[in-house]
């Protein structure tokens, strides 16, 4: 195939040939010659498609490194606040709060930390 068409079209063309070659009992050179393809170009596209497949698998199949956290408005200044707290995470991270938020906000914070795959412990200073 000449360098015509969009990149997506060329990928489809070569992906179809790579799949057909895999289903055959032929070596790369024999398959390429039988189908009027340059063996070096065939090998280039086979490697290129393999790399693309690996990179998309890493992104799509991997566990995310970060978890989305929602930032909420703090309660009004007149709301009663208690003493601060510390959250010790099993991975060694420490989250210190100057003031203890209301129970709902603390529950959301603990739930968010739990979603990261760690179970926090809460200490009131």
Supply angle C-alpha 14, 33, 41, rounded to 5: 40
What pLDDT is recorded for position 107? 74
What pLDDT is recorded for position 105? 81
Q: Please compute the mean of the pLDDT values over residues 56-74 and round it to a whole number.
A: 63
Helices marked H in the chain: 7-23, 28-34, 39-61, 103-115
Each residue's pLDDT tens digit, 8-61: 899 999 999 999 999 998 999 999 999 999 999 999 999 999 888 776 655 555
In this predicted structure, the answer to whether residue 67 has a pLDDT above a threshold of 80 is no
The pLDDT-based confidence of 81 (bands split at 50, 70, 90) is very low
What pLDDT is recorded for position 62? 59
pTM of the model: 0.44
Q: Are 81 and 100 a contacting pair, CB within 8 Å?
A: yes
E strand or H helix that includes residue 94: strand 94-100
42 by Cβ neighbours in 10 Å (0-12 / 13-18 / 19+) ranks as buried
Cβ-based neighbours of 85, under 8 Å, separated by 6 or more:
96, 97, 100, 106, 122, 123, 124, 125
What pLDDT is recorded for position 4? 74
Residue 92, SS3 per DSSP: coil
What pLDDT is recorded for position 120? 46
Spatial separation of the C-alpha atoms in residues 32 and 21, rounded to whole Å = 9
Each residue's pLDDT tens digit, 96-125: 777 777 778 877 776 676 666 544 455 544
């Amino acid at each position: 195939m000449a360098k015509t068409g969009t990149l997506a079209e060329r990928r489809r063309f070569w992906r179809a040939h790579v799949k057909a070659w895999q289903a055959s009992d032929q070596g790369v050179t024999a398959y390429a010659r039988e189908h009027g393809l340059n063996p070096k170009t065939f090998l280039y596209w086979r490697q290129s498609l393999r790399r693309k497949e690996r990179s998309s698998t890493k992104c799509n199949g991997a566990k995310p490194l970060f978890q989305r956290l929602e930032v909420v408005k703090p309660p009004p200044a007149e709301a009663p606040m208690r003493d601060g707290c510390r959250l010790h995470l099993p991975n060694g991270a420490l989250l210190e709060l100057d003031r203890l938020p209301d129970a709902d906000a603390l529950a959301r914070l603990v739930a968010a930390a739990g979603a990261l795959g760690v179970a926090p412990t809460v200490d009131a200073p």
